[in-house]
A and B are shown apart, each in its own frame.
Chain A
Amino acid sequence: DADVTQTPRNRITKTGKRIMLECSQTKGHDRMYWYRQDPGLGLQLIYYSFDVKDINKGEISDGYSVSRQAQAKFSLSLESAIPNQTALYFCATSEPSGTGDVGKQFFGPGTRLTVL
């Protein structure tokens, strides 16, 4: 079984709808992340969480919210979806690097979201 799973894998929705993307992990990591990737571009950090009580905004948090329901679960919500939120969304987990903030990350398979 995959260590980091994301549901749904694909979603098409309409402008103004509320959408939730879910992420679960069996790696036992405290740290979890949500990234967005647009075609031909790199990953942009939306939110990250170092433990259940610690949630932090990333580069592009506007229009998004998150919930860390448990160590193993981290959900991303789009309160009112808009077309420019059409993208590939990745969840990731990591252990601490031991020397800094970000260690080796393990990514889920991604959710392809289309907002019409």
Chain B
Amino acid sequence: GESVGLHLPTLSVQEGDNSIINCAYSNSASDYFIWYKQESGKGPQFIIDIRSNMDKRQGQRVTVLLNKTVKHLSLQIAATQPGDSAVYFCAENHEYIFGTGTRLKVLA
């Protein structure tokens, strides 16, 4: 999972499997969370967001789960594809800190 201050953790997943990327946050006042995807050589790009009045939100092949009790956020990618290979960052609305991110490697 993602933590501020550590070098980039890597998650390797077989093509077609589901991926789960985790993120912990510390600010109890945070009530809006965003996942970004950064492909090599490009700027981060918005994937999905969730507000604190929800526990789950689904997009196209992606689902974000929010557990406010333990201050934990996860991004699930269904049927992972080679194009999903990237670094994934979580962010929250009271902080500008993106953390180190998690590198997702999709194995053929």
Chain A interface residues (CB < 8 Å from chain B): 4, 33, 35, 40-43, 45, 48, 58-59, 90, 92, 97-110
Q: Which residue of B lies closest to A92 (CB)?
A: B43
Q: B31–A42 contact, CB under 8 A?
A: no
- The A contact surface, by secondary structure, is loop
Q: Which residue of A lies closest to B30 (CB)?
A: A100
Q: A104–B43 contact, CB under 8 A?
A: no
> Count the B residues whose beta carbon is within 8 Å of the partner chain — how many?
29
Determine the chain B residues whose CB is within 8 A of the CB of A105 once the complex forms.
34, 36, 44, 46, 91
Q: Which residue of A lies closest to B100 (CB)?
A: A42
Q: B97–A109 contact, CB under 8 A?
A: no
Q: Kindly state the separation between the CA atoms of A108 and B45 in the bound complex, as whole angstroms.
A: 9
The verdict on B49 contacting chain A, using a C-beta distance below 8 Å, is yes
Least distance between B11 CB and chain A CB atoms (Å): 15
